Amino acid sequence: MKKSILTKREKEVFDLLIQNNSTQDIANKLGISEKTVRNHISNVMQKLGVKGRASAIVELLKLGEITV
């Protein structure tokens, strides 16, 4: 099995994000603050070298990190 570029938490955040959850929804479901959710999203965008959530999702789908 290949090593994921995402941490377990980052994957949880993006799995919820692609299910059309808002930042607030994700924070509530995971029991973390909205700022922490945004930090996870920013970290992933930085790792991938993309700007924006949509671009991050497209890249993660291409890499097989998340599925729809």
- pLDDT, tens digit, 9 for 90 and up, residues 34-57: 999 999 999 999 999 999 999 999
pLDDT class of 3 with cuts at 50, 70, 90: confident
Report the alpha-carbon distance of residue 46 to residue 54 in Å, rounded. 13
> Is pTM beyond 0.75 here?
yes
Tokens describing residue 29: 């479901």
Contact between 13 and 40 under an 8 Å Cβ cutoff? The reply is yes
